Each structure stands twice: as C-alpha cells, then as structure tokens.
Structure 1
Amino acid sequence: MIPSKALLLLLPFLSPVQSQSVTLTPCSPITAANPSDLQTPSDIILAIGQSNTVGRGTPIGPEDIAYQHPNLLQLGRYNNVNGVPLGNCSLIPASDPLHHPDFTPKRDENGFVMRFANSYVREKALSGRKVIIMPGAMGGTGFSTFPFQWGLNKSLYNNTLQRTKALLELNASNRVIAILWLQGESDITFLNTTEYTTLVSQMIADLRSQIRKTRPSNPAVPFIAGEMVYKQERTVAGMAIQEGIRNLWKVIEFSGFVTNRADNGTYLYSPDGLHYGAEGLRILGGKYWSAYTQIVSGTWIAPPPVTTTIMTALPVPTGTPVFTRPAFPANTTYVGNNAKCGPSNSGAVCKDNLCCAYPLNTKDHYCGSTEKHCWADRCNQAFGSCWVNPSATTSSIPITTSTSKITSSPSTTHPTSTTSSKSSTTSAPSRTTTPTTHTFTRPTFPPGTTFVSTNAKCGPSNNGAVCRDNLCCAFPLNTADYYCGSTEKHCGRGRCEGRFGSCWVV
C-alpha cells in the first residue's frame, strides 16, 4: 500500500498518457477563434522553461488585464476554456494565465511573458501584423526530469519545435522574433555549470536551425534567459546553475540574460524561495523587453556580477530532540543501492540511509545516497531517507522486518539524537520468524545547535536551527522563509530541506 504522501510525490512523474492534466499534443491543423487570424502575417514569441515562465504570481491584477491587446494572440492547448469550446491548437486571445502545457483555467496567476509581448505590440506599432505567443513551459521540468524533459529530442523541446513549425507554416510572412527562457531549478544538483550551459546552448542552436529550415527568411532570433530567484543561488549546487544561466550569452550568439534584481539593486520578491511574486514577474517582463531591444540594437552589456553568500555549513543544535522511524508492514521489501524502489515497485523501501529517487536520466525510482538522490526535490521520503551526516558520529536505529505475518501490534521507542551519539532502537512487532535488521542513522549535531518546533523558523537562513520531533524544515506555501511543520506542504517532494529536519515517519 502506498502511503498518502507517496501518492502526492508520485504525481509529477505521470506520463502524458497517464496524466489527466498535461498532454503534449502536436498541432495539425491550427484553427482560430477568428478565422482571419490564420491568414494574418504574425510575429511569434516562444516562451519556454519551467514554472517561472508559466508564471506563479498571484493574484492577477487589473494591471495584468490592461496588458492584454487585440493584436496579441496565443496558441491554445485545451478543448474548453471557461465554457468556450475551442479546439486544441487554436489561435485565441492571449491573457494570463497563458496556455502552457500545465495550464488550468482557474489558475489566478500572472507571468512575465504577457508584459514582454504587450510591450512588443505597442512599441513596434506593427501595421497589418499580429503577435502570437507560443506557450511551451511546464512547471518542475528541466534537462534532468522525466517524462517531461528539455533537451534535444526530448518531449518538451519536440513539442515546442512542432508547434513552432506549424505556426510558421500558416503564412509565408510569419517569423519567430524572440525565444524567452526562464528555467534551472529542476536541474540543481543534477548538472554543473558547464553541463547546463552546454545543454541549453545545444538546444537553442538546434531550435534556431530548425526555424531557419522552415522559414529561410526568418531574421536572427534573439534568445533571452532569466536568473532564478536569489534564494536558489545560495547553495553551491544552486549557484552552479545560476552561473550556467549567466554564461549562456558567452556561448549563444545574439543573446543575453536578465537578473533577479530590480533597477535599484534589490532582489525581486519571492513568496516561497522558488517562484517570483506577481510584481516581480511584471518587473521581469519589462527587463526581458529592455534586454530584447538592446540585443537587437547591439547595445546589450552583461550585468556586473554580484557577491552571493553561499549557505553550506550545517547548524549547531543542543537539547534532546526525538526522532522516530516508521514501523513498516510485515511484508515490506527492503532493497539496496541501485535497486528499484517506491510506489511503482510494490512499495519497496530503501535500507541503510539510501533514498528512493529519480536520479538523472532514469525512468524509475532507484535507491542511492548521492546528491542526485538525496536533495529535497528528488528524495521520496516515504520509501527511504538520506537524512544523515556521514562525517559525524551517528546513532544506529535498527528496523526489523520479516515477510511473516504480524502477530501483535507494533510498539515504538522514540530514539534521541545527542552530541554523545547514544544508540536508540525502534521495537519490532513479534513475528513467527527471525527478522532481518536494517540500520538507519541520524546525524549528531555540533554543540550549540538550536532545535525548534512546529511553525518556528529554521534552516540555513535562521542560524541553522533544526526542526525536532519529525518536523521538516521547508518553504510551505505563501511564506518567505523556512518553517518547521509536518503537513504535505512541508513534507512533499521539493519542499523539505533535509539537512534541517525530516518528515520520514508514519
């Protein structure tokens, strides 16, 4: 049986066939709410990347609605929107939220693309032409994700390319005028700076080449990337991707990038440490437009580098927090390094401080203890936990299992973590055969570490305070800092900062 949290963690990996909300469909033919739009020469804007390109700013305000324009269209994706019957691949009026692959009609969120596109329409004062946005971004995706993935011959890129070609073929005068890219979070810990820069540059080179093959007269297409929010660059792994984004202009001709700071140098607001807020996205759209005009005119200059404090040190705890381990069902299968695990593999649990995760370039959950397994956005804690400091003296917590029927209810002794590394155990239910023991360990924290409880601030931005008693240190929804808690918003995939607390408990 898959625990309820595990079901939540599984959802992002459903294939297009399985997913009820995401389908990457090709466009043939393209239709239009206004048939004359099919014959009107158009300039095409490609908006690709992950959730910050989709836009997670909330709520949509009157200033966003004001940026709609009658000459601004988008290539839709869904058959019925707000009660209006529209076929997939229809040219429809552009408005937030745009029809990216993970679009939902009731989402009250703005992005930066509409601000850019509207500026293009107004300032270019195009005569006899319209502008079409091709929304192709999807939250939680990157070069390291599956099945929705960026890269040459990968699903999201192929869908973008097919739809772009279909738009170009509508009219001999249609042309792509910009590629807007904002992505990187999902590749943190999976790619280094050079790997990220190489994968993006290869993809953009191929995209430009395919555009030219379809429309030989298409002018050179500016490419603009955007930095992740500032909290993403405050770890070594996050900074590696941020530097990759900042280096793209060096290897991609006719390109530039925009920073995560306003003109006065302050960082754009992020409500959750991952996404830009509504006003930040509006500002970002203006920054993309400014970069575009400068690239086209040959005046763009790379922004000066800034100093970022990297948060790497583990914190400093005192006290005697209580940590528990789950008592698994009697027929639980325990598997080792590189073995398949998790909800798609009969609920197999990783033993001995291995995490059950989707590491790079795999199509299933596997046990492991590398950074590619253990970081918060990969580890499915319902089936294994890496929460351990290998360099510290650790406490052993044996978990006993057997395939025999349980003959009595389990009882649990709560282990403790102290600087003296005392051992604790979780009692197993009585069984009819001799159980096998798997050992899990907990880190011991340096003297002086502060342990905090529910709703308290924690983690790297709060002097390294560690959550006690099976609470996770996370950015729950709509907060601007790390807090301890045990809700799904704390413990779900991509939220829990495992160095400062763990939800791994039933």
Structure 2
Amino acid sequence: MIMRVAKLWSAGVLLVVGVAACDAASPGPMGVAEAGASGSGAGEEAPTPVAGGSVVDAGAAHDADLDADVAAPSPSSGYDVFLLAGQSNMVGRGASFDAALDTPHPAIFQWGRGERDGMIVPAVARLDHNDTALLDRVGMGLSFAKAYYEASQPTPRPILLVPTARGGSSFSAHQWNPGDPLFEDAVLRGNAAMATDPGNRFVAFLWHQGENDVGQYDNATYSQALDAMIGAFRARVAGASSAPFILGQFCPDWSPDPAAKASISSAIDATPQRVPFTSVAPSAGLTSNAGDAVHFDAPAQRTYGARYWQALDVARANVPHP
C-alpha cells in the first residue's frame, strides 16, 4: 500500500487535507555517550488538553517550501520506528523555531494525533505529542531523526516517529507506570504505528523525564519505577523486546533542591548499570530558555537530538552481563 498525505500551509498552520490509499560517537562511562563537540520548584505545569487533539501551529516562520504530496514507502521497504516519551523536554519547549534549521525532511514522518490520529504525516517541529502547550517550540525528535537518517546512508530507510510525551508528567502522579494513562497511550500508538507496514522495524525508545519526580521520589523508588516501565515497554510494543532505550539528563542550569535533583539524576545515570541495552545522552554544556532554566532552548534541543543519536550505538553495545 502507498499512503499519500496531501498538505498545505495556511496562516502558518500545517493542514492535512486528505489521505488516500492505493495499491501499486565514543562511549564515556558505561552507557553514557560522550557529548559531541557541537553542540525553581521541580518540573513544570502540565498543559491543559484541547478538545479534538492538537494542531501543529507552526507560526509564521514555518512557511516552508514543501511539495504538495508526500509518499509513504511501499511494504517492501517499511519504516524505522522510534517511540518518543517523557515530559516537556521531550515534547520540546525550545524557543524559537528557525525555518532554515527546523525544516521537515522528506523521509521523516510521524504518527499523527488529534484530527490526524491514525495517519502517517510529515514530521514537523513541533511533533504531535500528547501535549498542546507552546506549539511553536522546538524539540529534539526531528534533529535526532535527521542525524539517524544521514548516518544510514547509502541505504537509509524512511523514519516514523511516534510522539507520546506530555509536559509535567511523572511516575509519582501515576502517569508513566504500566497501566497508567500515558504509558498505555504510548503502547497503543506504538503498536498501531508498527502495524502499518509488514516491513516496519522498531529501532529504539527515546525518553526524557524526571523533573516532576524530583522531591516526590527517592533514588530507589524512581529507579524501580523507571526499570519497570522500560521492561513493560519492551514486553508490550511489537518488535521492541530488546530495543535500545535512550535516556536524557536535566538542564545543567536548572537548580531545584540540590539533594532531591541529585537523587533522581543519579538514578537516571545508573540505568545502564541496571538495565541492558540502555544509555544516557549527556546534557553537559546545553543551555536553557531565558528565564526558564528547566527547559532546553532551541539550539540545545537540536544538539541534544544529535547526542541521542550518538547514544544509540552505546545502548546497542550495553549487552547483558553473564
């Protein structure tokens, strides 16, 4: 099957107007990738959902020169699928969009949400996460996918991102544990995306979270919740039984209670010692939004996407010990 997505730009908003189907880097400490050369309470308020789902408000700067149609691959090809989850730094709160740097890529798609639910649509900044706040901001997903695609030359496969993150979400608020609403939504959407083509290949999970568990969970409790979620994701998402799982670190400039932050940070950093095929993408040197230390700015998000790609091979090499 070939899926075609008709799209147009109107007043800075990407509109999907129809879908037709027709036949025809070096590792540092264990599991922590080296940062590349490029490149005050806990957490943030959760967004208020909007009825009918999210529409990507790209802003005036998004008047990109795009073709009228984007063709999805044939079954003989399939997609490389990635599931993106966590809270707002995975969603993307980076200000601001740059038309030259954040342009869509013709081989990178996303599993749509809201009015585009169940559709394979172009991946644009921002992605269709389970979050409706600050839709003109930049996340790491698109830059990660571009780095992965370029590294796959000369025989790259098209990429399908499954965005499922929500700002302000946590384990302690019963959102990401197996059985919780956001976890179950991510599993459902990951499996639906995988079922679109028999040639699909699940490649990895991208996770950034923890700010809203600072001060709520201690190191042991957070570690237990995180490890249980990773295991459940791998058990329940099709093709993901040993898929790499990449985690991220907090913004260096963010300064909540130091001991509480360190407790969660150390749990994240030690994940590769506890769980095989995991790695941590370092945030050293990355910058925050002005007046908003908890969130990476747009340049940092673009760099962080590349660091997550560098961490992919580190996770693959983190094999179980006998």
- TM-score using structure 1 length: 0.47
2:74 and 2:224 mapped to 1: Cα distance? Answer: 37
Alignment-mate amino acid for residue 94 of structure 1: A
Out of 152, 156, 163, which is 1:135 matched to?
163
Partner of 1:177: 203
Q: CA deviation at 1:260?
A: 2.0
1:108-163 Cα deviation digits (max 9, x unpaired): 211111111111111113747311000000001011226xx111100000000011
Partner of 1:50: 87
| Distance verdict in 2 for CA 1:100–1:22, change over 3 Å | farther
Q: Is the 8 A contact 1:100 1:136 kept in 2?
A: yes
Corresponding residue SS for 1:62: coil
Q: CA deviation at 1:291?
A: 1.0
2:99 and 2:121 mapped to 1: Cα distance? Answer: 20
1:264-291 Cα deviation digits (max 9, x unpaired): xxx5334312101111111111111111
Q: Is the 8 A contact 1:54 1:138 kept in 2?
A: yes
| Distance verdict in 2 for CA 1:62–1:52, change over 3 Å | same
Out of 225, 232, 240, which is 2:247 matched to?
225
2:299 and 2:170 mapped to 1: Cα distance? Answer: 25
Q: Does 1:73 align with 2:109?
A: yes
1:354-388 Cα deviation digits (max 9, x unpaired): xxxxxxxxxxxxxxxxxxxxxxxxxxxxxxxxxxx
Corresponding residue SS for 1:275: strand
Q: Is the 8 A contact 1:52 1:276 kept in 2?
A: yes
1:200 and 1:275 mapped to 2: Cα distance? Answer: 21
Q: Does 1:257 align with 2:293?
A: no
Q: CA deviation at 1:209?
A: 1.3
1:197-243 Cα deviation digits (max 9, x unpaired): 110110111111123xx34xx67311111111122465211221111
Q: Does 1:268 align with 2:287?
A: yes
Partner of 1:210: 236
1:253 and 1:94 mapped to 2: Cα distance? Answer: 30
Q: Is the 8 A contact 1:41 1:128 kept in 2?
A: no
Larger-Rg structure? 1
Q: Does 1:91 align with 2:114?
A: no
Out of 283, 287, 303, which is 1:283 matched to?
303
Q: CA deviation at 1:166?
A: 1.1
| Distance verdict in 2 for CA 1:269–1:102, change over 3 Å | closer
1:63 and 1:36 mapped to 2: Cα distance? Answer: 24
Corresponding residue SS for 2:225: helix
For structure 1, the residue ranges without an aligned partner over 5 or more in a row are: 1-10, 25-32, 80-86, 300-506
| Distance verdict in 2 for CA 1:191–1:22, change over 3 Å | farther
| Distance verdict in 2 for CA 1:50–1:38, change over 3 Å | farther
1:58 and 1:140 mapped to 2: Cα distance? Answer: 18
Q: Does 1:162 align with 2:188?
A: yes
Q: Is the 8 A contact 1:222 1:292 kept in 2?
A: yes
Q: CA deviation at 1:249?
A: 1.3
Q: Does 1:235 align with 2:274?
A: no
2:47 and 2:299 mapped to 1: Cα distance? Answer: 31
Q: CA deviation at 1:93?
A: 0.6
1:159 and 1:97 mapped to 2: Cα distance? Answer: 19
Q: Does 1:199 align with 2:225?
A: yes
Corresponding residue SS for 1:65: coil
| Distance verdict in 2 for CA 1:255–1:70, change over 3 Å | same
Q: Is the 8 A contact 1:97 1:103 kept in 2?
A: no
| Distance verdict in 2 for CA 1:273–1:241, change over 3 Å | same
Q: Does 1:64 align with 2:111?
A: no
Q: Is the 8 A contact 2:248 2:283 kept in 1?
A: yes
Alignment-mate amino acid for residue 88 of structure 1: D
1:221 and 1:47 mapped to 2: Cα distance? Answer: 13
Q: Is the 8 A contact 2:96 2:297 kept in 1?
A: no
1:307-335 Cα deviation digits (max 9, x unpaired): xxxxxxxxxxxxxxxxxxxxxxxxxxxxx
Partner of 2:12: none
2:260 and 2:142 mapped to 1: Cα distance? Answer: 31
Q: Is the 8 A contact 1:229 1:270 kept in 2?
A: no
2:72 and 2:148 mapped to 1: Cα distance? Answer: 21
Partner of 1:115: 143
User: RMSD of the TM alignment (CA)?
Assistant: 2.6
Q: CA deviation at 1:88?
A: 1.6
| Distance verdict in 2 for CA 1:127–1:75, change over 3 Å | same
Alignment-mate amino acid for residue 226 of structure 2: V
| Distance verdict in 2 for CA 1:38–1:190, change over 3 Å | farther
1:260 and 1:162 mapped to 2: Cα distance? Answer: 30
| Distance verdict in 2 for CA 1:71–1:36, change over 3 Å | closer
| Distance verdict in 2 for CA 1:232–1:13, change over 3 Å | same
1:437-469 Cα deviation digits (max 9, x unpaired): xxxxxxxxxxxxxxxxxxxxxxxxxxxxxxxxx
Q: CA deviation at 1:34?
A: 5.5
Q: Is the 8 A contact 2:52 2:114 kept in 1?
A: no
1:22 and 1:229 mapped to 2: Cα distance? Answer: 32
Kindly, what percent of the aligned residue pairs are identical? 26
Q: Is the 8 A contact 2:176 2:183 kept in 1?
A: yes
Q: Is the 8 A contact 1:47 1:135 kept in 2?
A: yes
Alignment-mate amino acid for residue 119 of structure 2: S
Q: CA deviation at 1:36?
A: 4.5
| Distance verdict in 2 for CA 1:125–1:233, change over 3 Å | farther
- TM-score using structure 2 length: 0.73
Q: Is the 8 A contact 1:115 1:286 kept in 2?
A: yes
